[in-house]
A and B are shown apart, each in its own frame.
Chain A
Amino acid sequence: MDFVEVPVSEDLPSSKGKVKKQKKQKEIREKAAENVETEPEPAEAPGCSLPPTFSLKEIKNKQRRHLMFMKLKQEKRQQKLQLRKKRKKEREALGDKAPPKEVPKTIENQRIYDETTVDPEDEEVAFDEGTDEFSAYFNKLINPKVLITTSDRPRGRTVRFCEQLATVIPNAYVYYRRGLALKRIIPQCISRDFTYLIVINEDRKVPNGMILCHLPEGPTAHFKVSSVRLRKEMKRRGKDPTEHYPEVILNNFTTRLGHSIGRMFAALFPQDPQFVGRQVATFHNQRDFIFFRFHRYIFKNEKKVGIQELGPRFTLKLRSLQKGTFDSKFGEYEWVHKRHEMDTSRRKFHL
């Protein structure tokens, strides 16, 4: 144990001569004093003669350290408040001439440019989209018909989730899985003119996955499902939805992959919404998470609109997009989310 250890800066070499040490301490104190004189910075503790490199960590008494830390924090907060007040006053004084407020930096508006972002005038992409698997729907040749099923032996929330999903999507039928293999279900669905197969996967009574398979030719998307909130669990929800065809809002699907996913969601609902029902289904993409909400709206007057959530709500995240109908073993994947390769930047988004 070294008894003469002094809580000073780390750059001080631990010399053995006491005289030298004292001298150096004196020098440091003088320097500190100079600092205080030249720039009146907020000292960590009032009346403390410690050098500027001193940090609270070096206080060995826990209570004392805590006290000092609280003081420091309070001071910082006060400074911040003052600065804000000052700025506000300046803005008020300037009035209309005040400079426009700065836009806060978010990881969305700092997004890394994605070269696959779709240009609406691009001929090639337009042709590609015009002749893909959904073109029959968008040319109004077929009407969607959806089969909803679950993983084997669904329990609890998953069953209710499926039922509520069926009320949101028109022309949807919920069936028990009965232990059938998806490979055998798909041909039967095709022969019965279904255009979509939705499989909800559950884990420990909670829905956690969704397979969205477009029939008869694919593609198949696999999503992670999280934050499912059923109708019963929602506050201030409206009455149960009617059977009118809802309107669909797709937000922020900008890249080529996002476009494919967006088209996939759009083709889930019939075209020509019935505006009498005043119901909207929203797929909002933000930071690659797709938020689903279902609302009823009302025009209160020319300017005001009221909305009322009907539920359920859930969040999806794309895991993979596969060409063709569901075949996880031999199917060809158009896009697979590889976490360690793709998620290298927080500002890179794929949808």
Chain B
Amino acid sequence: MACVKSQQCSVWVGAETGILKGVCVSRKQVYNFCEMRNLSRDEEICTITWGDEHESEVLIGSVNGRVKTFSTEKGIFTESRECADLTHGRFTGLAVTDRSLITCVESGLLKVWPEAGNETVEINVGSGVCRMRQNSSERHHVATGGKENPLKVWDLQRPDTPIFTAKNVANDWLDLRVPVWVRDMAFLTQSNKIITCTGHHQVRVYDPSCQRRPVLEAEFGEVPLTALSVPPGENSVVVGNTHGQLATLDLRKGLVRGCMKGTAGSVRGLQCHPSLPLVASCGLDRFLRIHNLQDRTLIHKVYLKSRLNCVLLSSRDLQQSVSEEEEQLGETKTEEDEVWDAMETVTEKSSKRAAQDEDEVRDAQERDKKKKTKK
């Protein structure tokens, strides 16, 4: 039974009570993958990530320093190993490279655990780490940052020095130092840039090939930003803050494109779908929400009973995951068709708009002519 349930799920959410929740959006069903008898607060899930490229394993980092592997095909926890002790703080990031596991904790201890059980590589990235993220195209590059700990990019093959360390921005108009507090970051793989959000409500874009200071700085709201995610096009970014405000910012000028409504509490987890214009958010208000990024409407809203810490979206289509099992062959075709349809509509729209513009221009000209004749 468990395996059938877990195969249907397209969204995975880690809760503060230590429960891994799988959500099947199209059937509007929620499954708890945990034994309800022996729950404890020590197993609070801090981070969540995919264990492999086929998305058949979910890795979970819990507060007590254990990393568990959950198999989505079998629907059970297959492995559990001790990766940190409680004195180092909670996990801030988990990542997988080919056959090794990368963990990072709040105290700044970044470890690489090879699968064969050889010696671990340890890097001290500095204290007060808030987040560690992996570059999805070059998987041995990770970025770290935290409170009074600037953004650093590490190459795990040469762990001695970071390949990029951000420099703090210039002093403010009172000539005072600007405090550093990186809360979340993401790699822009197309343009080799890194984007961060801070606890002082700034969004910054760094270009390592160009300079150590940010190339773009934007502000959103007045309260700390907690999470960030980059949608597929990579020309905008979705940020969430502690008051539950979600917004998309444009990365060309750093302006707010629009806000997404509905969130009541602090946003803890945010992820964009890798191909579709969807963003999933979860947080302290105990709801999982899925918004459309194009018109920013709320598509799904699921009550999950516990405070939620992190969210993970599978790369397949959320709506059609159910029928996928029943008719896989036809499914792929329709999916492709839909993708093409979507693309076509976009081009049509633009062409229409162009046509309209032309029409308008023509109309205006005619009007001018008429006026002239009247005169």
- The residue of chain B having its C-beta at the shortest distance from the C-beta of A122 within the complex is B305
Task: Give the residue of A115, A124, A330, A341 whose beta carbon is less than 8 angstroms from that of B17.
Answer: A124
Is A131 at the interface (CB under 8 A from chain B)? yes
Query: Is A338 touching B264 in the complex (CB atoms < 8 A)?
Result: yes
User: In the complex, A332→B16 CA distance in Å?
Assistant: 14
In the complex, chain A residues whose CB is within 8 Å of the CB of B264: 335-336, 338, 342
- The residue of chain B having its C-beta at the shortest distance from the C-beta of A341 within the complex is B261
The contact sample of 21 A-B pairs, CB cut-off 8 A, is A115-B303, A123-B36, A124-B19, A124-B36, A127-B17, A128-B305, A131-B40, A131-B41, A256-B286, A256-B305, A323-B284, A330-B224, A330-B242, A332-B242, A332-B266, A332-B284, A334-B266, A334-B307, A338-B244, A341-B261, A341-B262
Query: Is A323 touching B32 in the complex (CB atoms < 8 A)?
Result: no
User: In the complex, A256→B264 CA distance in Å?
Assistant: 13
In the complex, chain A residues whose CB is within 8 Å of the CB of B243: 333, 336
> A128-B305, A332-B265 are known contacts; what are 15 more A-B pairs with Cβ within 8 Å?
A116-B303, A323-B266, A330-B242, A331-B242, A332-B266, A332-B284, A333-B242, A333-B284, A334-B307, A335-B265, A336-B244, A336-B264, A338-B264, A341-B261, A341-B262
Query: Is B17 touching A128 in the complex (CB atoms < 8 A)?
Result: yes
> Can you list the 4 inter-chain pairs with the closest CB atoms, starting with the nearest?
A332-B266, A334-B284, A115-B303, A334-B265
In the complex, chain B residues whose CB is within 8 Å of the CB of A329: 223
User: Interface range on chain B: under 10, 10 to 19, 20 to 34, or 35 or more?
Assistant: 20 to 34
Is A125 at the interface (CB under 8 A from chain B)? yes
How far, in Å, is B250 (CB) from chain A's closest CB? 23
Is B306 at the interface (CB under 8 A from chain A)? yes
User: In the complex, A57→B40 CA distance in Å?
Assistant: 71
How far, in Å, is B162 (CB) from chain A's closest CB? 27
In the complex, chain A residues whose CB is within 8 Å of the CB of B305: 122, 124-125, 128, 256
Is B199 at the interface (CB under 8 A from chain A)? yes
In the complex, chain A residues whose CB is within 8 Å of the CB of B306: 124, 128
Bitwise, A291-312 to B at CB < 8 A (1) or not (0) is: 0000000000000000000000
User: In the complex, A338→B226 CA distance in Å?
Assistant: 19
User: In the complex, A188→B223 CA distance in Å?
Assistant: 26
Question: What's the count of A-B pairs with C-beta under 8 Å?
Answer: 61
In the complex, chain A residues whose CB is within 8 Å of the CB of B36: 123-124, 127
User: In the complex, A161→B175 CA distance in Å?
Assistant: 46
Chain B, range 54-68, C-beta contacts under 8 Å to A: none
Residues of chain B having any CB pair with chain A under 8 Å: 17, 19, 32, 36, 39-41, 199, 223-224, 226, 242-244, 261-262, 264-266, 284-286, 303, 305-307
From known contacts A256-B286, A334-B285, A335-B264, infer whether A124 and B32 are also in contact, taking CB-CB under 8 Å: yes
User: In the complex, A253→B263 CA distance in Å?
Assistant: 21
User: In the complex, A93→B55 CA distance in Å?
Assistant: 74
In the complex, chain B residues whose CB is within 8 Å of the CB of A131: 17, 40-41
In the complex, chain B residues whose CB is within 8 Å of the CB of A335: 264-265, 284-285
- The residue of chain B having its C-beta at the shortest distance from the C-beta of A321 within the complex is B265
Query: Is B265 touching A127 in the complex (CB atoms < 8 A)?
Result: no
In the complex, chain A residues whose CB is within 8 Å of the CB of B17: 124, 127-128, 131
Name which of A116, A336, A342 has the most chain B CB atoms within 10 A of its CB.
A336
User: In the complex, A338→B39 CA distance in Å?
Assistant: 34
In the complex, chain B residues whose CB is within 8 Å of the CB of A331: 242
Bitwise, A326-350 to B at CB < 8 A (1) or not (0) is: 0001111111101001100000000
Residues of chain A having any CB pair with chain B under 8 Å: 115-116, 122-125, 127-128, 131, 256, 323, 329-336, 338, 341-342
From known contacts A330-B224, A341-B261, infer whether A127 and B242 are also in contact, taking CB-CB under 8 Å: no
User: In the complex, A116→B285 CA distance in Å?
Assistant: 10
User: In the complex, A334→B16 CA distance in Å?
Assistant: 13
User: In the complex, A295→B260 CA distance in Å?
Assistant: 46
- The residue of chain A having its C-beta at the shortest distance from the C-beta of B267 within the complex is A332
In the complex, chain B residues whose CB is within 8 Å of the CB of A342: 264
User: In the complex, A125→B224 CA distance in Å?
Assistant: 29
In the complex, chain B residues whose CB is within 8 Å of the CB of A123: 36
- The residue of chain B having its C-beta at the shortest distance from the C-beta of A330 within the complex is B224
User: In the complex, A148→B154 CA distance in Å?
Assistant: 51
User: In the complex, A20→B36 CA distance in Å?
Assistant: 85
User: In the complex, A128→B16 CA distance in Å?
Assistant: 9
User: In the complex, A349→B291 CA distance in Å?
Assistant: 23
How far, in Å, is B21 (CB) from chain A's closest CB? 10
User: In the complex, A266→B41 CA distance in Å?
Assistant: 23
In the complex, chain B residues whose CB is within 8 Å of the CB of A338: 244, 264
Query: Is B261 touching A332 in the complex (CB atoms < 8 A)?
Result: no
User: In the complex, A49→B226 CA distance in Å?
Assistant: 73
How far, in Å, is A329 (CB) from chain B's closest CB? 7
How far, in Å, is A59 (CB) from chain B's closest CB? 47
- The residue of chain B having its C-beta at the shortest distance from the C-beta of A331 within the complex is B242
User: In the complex, A247→B102 CA distance in Å?
Assistant: 54
User: In the complex, A331→B40 CA distance in Å?
Assistant: 25
User: In the complex, A127→B37 CA distance in Å?
Assistant: 10
How far, in Å, is A340 (CB) from chain B's closest CB? 9
User: In the complex, A123→B306 CA distance in Å?
Assistant: 11
- The residue of chain A having its C-beta at the shortest distance from the C-beta of B262 within the complex is A341
- The residue of chain A having its C-beta at the shortest distance from the C-beta of B37 within the complex is A123
How far, in Å, is A257 (CB) from chain B's closest CB? 9
User: In the complex, A142→B352 CA distance in Å?
Assistant: 70
User: In the complex, A131→B284 CA distance in Å?
Assistant: 16
How far, in Å, is A341 (CB) from chain B's closest CB? 5
From known contacts A116-B286, A127-B39, infer whether A333 and B303 are also in contact, taking CB-CB under 8 Å: no
In the complex, chain A residues whose CB is within 8 Å of the CB of B285: 334-335
User: In the complex, A127→B40 CA distance in Å?
Assistant: 9
In the complex, chain A residues whose CB is within 8 Å of the CB of B303: 115-116
- The residue of chain B having its C-beta at the shortest distance from the C-beta of A338 within the complex is B264
In the complex, chain A residues whose CB is within 8 Å of the CB of B32: 124
User: In the complex, A116→B243 CA distance in Å?
Assistant: 20
User: In the complex, A323→B32 CA distance in Å?
Assistant: 24
User: In the complex, A125→B307 CA distance in Å?
Assistant: 11
- The residue of chain A having its C-beta at the shortest distance from the C-beta of B39 within the complex is A127
User: In the complex, A227→B332 CA distance in Å?
Assistant: 63
Query: Is A333 touching B265 in the complex (CB atoms < 8 A)?
Result: yes
- The residue of chain B having its C-beta at the shortest distance from the C-beta of A125 within the complex is B305
Query: Is B226 touching A332 in the complex (CB atoms < 8 A)?
Result: yes
In the complex, chain B residues whose CB is within 8 Å of the CB of A115: 303
- The residue of chain B having its C-beta at the shortest distance from the C-beta of A350 within the complex is B264
Task: Give the residue of B199, B244, B262 whose beta carbon is less than 8 angstroms from that of A330.
Answer: B199
User: In the complex, A335→B262 CA distance in Å?
Assistant: 11
In the complex, chain A residues whose CB is within 8 Å of the CB of B19: 124
How far, in Å, is B193 (CB) from chain A's closest CB? 27
In the complex, chain A residues whose CB is within 8 Å of the CB of B39: 127
